[in-house]
Amino acid sequence: MWPIDSISSLCRLRVALRFSVETIHLGYFLQATLLLSNKTLVRLVVAMRTILLTSIIVCGTIFLTFRFEEQLQTAAATILPSSRATTQDFDWPPKLNETYPDFQLIDQEGTPTRLSEFKGKIILLEPIGMPCKACQAFSGGHERGGFRDIPPQPGLPSIEEAARKYGGFDLSDDRIVKIRLLLYSLAMRAPTAEDARAWAEHFGLERAKNEIVLAGLPSMIGDASYRMIPGLQLIDQEMVLRADGTGRSHQQHDLYRELLPGVRKMLEGEAPF
């Protein structure tokens, strides 16, 4: 976009015209005061008229170009969905045994999605940094290959496999929602809806199967989010964070011995711990 607005464009056009007109007046003044010959005066007037015409063309082009871009961007903003949610109306990071932040983020289908839409279901939420090898493995990197050719962490199973092996339940249970929360893009910046779409497509994650991929906000980037990667969080049917198995060290709950077995207990109507 041009770094001017329509008002400044008109002002510049007006200044250019005023300058050209004043220059022509100066030519006549020089004739009167310096007694220029008719031939010299004609050349001066022609030059001034050329400057005037050029000024009109240049300023008019700038003004029309700006107006066109302004209208095009306005139309695009109306027609195209935003690639990223832009405001944060929740507290972050989440706290154990407290209601989970009810964020609204863009999912893999470009749809604004609020966490509370899944109230009443058990939520397994995985915070993700897209370059993270463990995150690649959890999402199914050993089965489908690493996203953008990043190798998944050796020996680490997918969440689906770990749920069956360590939790004794199947993630296809419709009482469970699996959320992959992208907190960092491949460039370690805030992810976009396109990142969410690409991640879901690569690993075969479908919203219709309660497999949700969300793009986090720039405001969510920071030490707290970084320390949440990799791992899982368990959110109960009342939106309370019941178990936190995230981070490379100092996990509050062991992923395999506590968090995943806790999901099975919740499915059976028991407390997770």
pLDDT reported for residue 3: 39
Q: Where are the domains of the chain?
A: 6-79, 104-267
Burial string for 68-99 (b: 16+ CB within 10 Å, else e) reads: eeeeeeeeeeeeeeebbbeebebeebbeeeee
- Bridge-based pairing of strands 211-215 and 176-184 is parallel
pLDDT reported for residue 249: 76
- Bridge-based pairing of strands 122-129 and 176-184 is parallel
Residues of the chain with pLDDT below 50 are: 1-13, 15-17, 19-21, 24, 29-30, 33-34, 36, 64-66, 68-83, 86
pLDDT reported for residue 41: 59
Residue 208 has a CB neighbour count (10 Å cut-off) of 6
The mean pLDDT of the chain is 82
pLDDT reported for residue 175: 98
pLDDT reported for residue 78: 34
pLDDT reported for residue 165: 97
pLDDT reported for residue 80: 39
pLDDT reported for residue 250: 72
pTM of structure: 0.69
pLDDT reported for residue 25: 55
Residue range 4-20, pLDDT digits in tens: 344 344 444 454 445 44
Residue range 49-101, pLDDT digits in tens: 777 677 667 555 555 444 544 443 433 333 334 445 545 778 899 999 999 99
Residue 123 has a CB neighbour count (10 Å cut-off) of 22
* Fold annotation for 104-267: Glutaredoxin (3.40.30)
pLDDT reported for residue 40: 66
